[in-house]
């Protein structure tokens, strides 16, 4: 497969940031120790994967304080240390260590301010390029949380502010406090709920959109089988995930077979096809893709320039 020499870019809403269509997601590299973990990870492999992605032109990394309870941000900080061509760094707040591996939620002002200070320290940054509310929970506190985010932007601790997992009503509620600059929703061939109202709203409002889990958390890569799922570590949340168990699993594996047929047509991988499918939506600016090893990087970056035809989409949808 030919190496990607230049990744296509686009503007992230009205932020002024020009981002590559594919970004690096650092959820999985957080490692184990909490309820949304992907099992133990090799930090050296994670660092090599980040270096490979950046060397190939990826210009943004998305992480969160809760990933590995701070460990993901620490790994990202190590990868950035001393690097001259620093990518944009996006991270999130509102999920906290609840003890015993459980995660709790807080949108209280004091809590968010503690989180941003800790994230800046772990990442080794003076300012975060994009700071996002991870979840609108507790929903009664989203105004307090968003007002705090606006304060952080005014103070220069963060450059841009956005939300993740918000619906249209929640975004409308907070827009009078400060404009919602970006949205990060789940979006993939197995998670299409945002197509109805959320993505159209973001497009109308000029809100930048970066989607997470475009490969269905690894389900659509072509490497996931029933046997592999059965042998996932017990601390990998996917082992119990709805999309990875019946009755949905059989349908999803059939979808992967169709993606594999399209991938052969374009000399690429099923995962790249899945990511490219999300990028066809006019509301979507970028897709977050998780790399845990350097060998995973090159095949997925092909999605940034993969132009799926209408015929491809018909096949993907199971109508061809």
> 317's torsion region: left (phi>0), alpha (psi -120 to 50) or beta?
alpha
Domain extents for the chain? 16-316
Question: CB count, 10 Å around CB of 194?
Answer: 23
Gap between the Cα atoms of 150 and 160, Å rounded? 9
pLDDT, position 239: 64
- The catalytic residues are 67
The pLDDT tens digits along the chain (320 residues) read 334 457 899 999 999 999 999 999 998 898 888 787 767 889 999 999 999 999 999 999 999 999 999 999 999 999 999 888 899 999 999 999 999 989 999 999 999 999 999 999 999 999 999 999 999 999 999 999 999 999 999 999 999 999 999 999 999 999 999 999 999 999 999 999 999 999 999 999 999 999 999 988 678 887 767 777 776 777 776 767 677 777 777 787 888 899 999 999 999 999 999 999 999 999 999 999 988 889 989 988 988 889 999 999 999 987 54
| CATH tag for 16-316 (out of 3.20.20.20, 3.20.20.100, 3.40.50.2300, 3.40.50.11240) | 3.20.20.100
pLDDT, position 231: 67
């Amino acid at each position: 497969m030919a190496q990607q020499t230049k990744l296509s870019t686009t503007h992230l809403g009205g932020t002024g940031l020009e981002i590559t269509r594919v970004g690096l997601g650092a959820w999985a590299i957080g490692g184990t120790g909490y309820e949304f973990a992907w099992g133990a990870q090799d930090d050296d492999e994670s660092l090599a994967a980040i270096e490979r992605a950046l060397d190939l032109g990826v210009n943004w990394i998305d992480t969160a304080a809760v990933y590995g309870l701070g460990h993901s941000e620490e790994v990202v900080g190590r990868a950035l240390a001393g690097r001259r061509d620093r990518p944009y760094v996006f991270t999130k707040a509102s999920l906290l260590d609840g003890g015993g591996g459980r995660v709790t939620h807080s949108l209280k002002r004091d809590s968010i301010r503690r989180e941003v200070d800790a994230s800046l320290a772990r990442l080794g940054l003076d300012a975060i390029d994009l700071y996002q509310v991870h979840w609108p929970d507790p929903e009664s506190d989203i105004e307090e949380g968003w007002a705090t985010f606006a304060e952080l932007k005014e103070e220069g601790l963060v450059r841009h502010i956005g939300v993740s997992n918000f619906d249209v009503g929640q975004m409308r509620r907070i827009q009078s406090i400060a404009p919602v600059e970006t949205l990060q929703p789940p979006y993939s061939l197995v998670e299409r709920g945002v197509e109805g109202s959320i993505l159209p709203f973001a497009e109308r409002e000029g809100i930048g959109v970066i989607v997470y889990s475009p490969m269905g958390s690894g389900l659509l890569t072509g490497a996931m089988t029933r046997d592999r799922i059965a042998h996932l570590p017990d601390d990998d949340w996917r082992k119990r995930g709805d999309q990875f168990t019946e009755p949905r699993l059989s349908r999803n594996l059939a979808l992967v077979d169709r993606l594999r047929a399209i991938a052969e047509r374009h000399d690429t991988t099923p995962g790249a096809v899945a990511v490219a499918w999300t990028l066809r939506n006019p509301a979507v600016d970028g897709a977050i893709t998780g790399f845990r090893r350097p060998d995973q990087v090159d095949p997925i970056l092909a999605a940034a320039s993969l132009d799926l035809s209408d015929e491809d989409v018909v096949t993907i949808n199971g109508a061809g």
